[in-house]
Amino acid sequence: MKRFDALAVLAELTRDVPVVVTCAASSRELAAIADRPNHLYLLDSMGLAGSVATGLALRLGDAPLPRVVAIEGDGSLLMNPNVLATAGYLRPRKLLMVLLDNGVYGATANLPTHAGRLDLGRMAAAAGWTTRVTATADELCDAWTELEGIEGPVLLHVRIEPGNATDIPKLLEDPVILGRRFQDWLLTHAGATR
Ligand SMILES: [Mg+2]
Instruction: Supply the CATH number for residue 81's domain.
Output: 3.40.50.970
On whether residue 56 sits in a domain, the answer given is yes
Task: Report the sign of the C-alpha dihedral through residues 54, 48, 4, 155, in that order.
Answer: negative
Distance 189 CA to ligand 1 centre (A): 31
On whether residue 137 sits in a domain, the answer given is yes
Domain that holds residue 120: 3-189
**Number of domains, the chain:** 1
Distance 117 CA to ligand 1 centre (A): 13
pTM recorded for the entire structure:
0.96
Distance 172 CA to ligand 1 centre (A): 22
pLDDT in tens, 47-102: 999 999 999 999 999 999 999 999 999 999 999 999 999 999 999 999 999 999 99
Model confidence at 44, pLDDT cuts 50, 70, 90, reads confident
Distance 88 CA to ligand 1 centre (A): 22
On whether residue 194 sits in a domain, the answer given is no
Distance 106 CA to ligand 1 centre (A): 5
